[in-house]
């Protein structure tokens, strides 16, 4: 293959979609954990009121 350095547009599109999906996946994981931890700590405070002090 003489034209090895140039990728076809399908491969560019596929790699771009994979990068975009991985970025969205990482952001959703971070937001999921950030949204989950305050409710867990609130529930912990509700169960043990002494730890609030």
pLDDT in tens, 2-52: 556 677 888 889 999 999 999 999 999 888 877 766 555 556 666 666 655
pLDDT at 18: 95
DSSP classification of residue 52: G
| CA separation, residue 3 to residues 6, 8, 12, 31 (Å) | 6, 10, 15, 42
Alpha helices in 1-53 (DSSP H): 9-47
Reading the block at residue 51, the tokens are 């730890």
pLDDT at res. 1: 47
Q: Are 30 and 24 in contact (CB under 8 A)?
A: no
Q: Is the pTM of this model over 0.75?
A: no
């Amino acid at each position: 293959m003489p034209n090895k350095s140039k990728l076809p547009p399908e491969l560019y599109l596929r790699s771009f979609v994979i990068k975009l999906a991985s970025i969205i996946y990482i952001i959703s994981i971070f937001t999921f954990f950030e949204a989950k931890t305050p409710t867990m700590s609130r529930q912990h405070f509700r169960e043990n009121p002494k730890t609030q002090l």
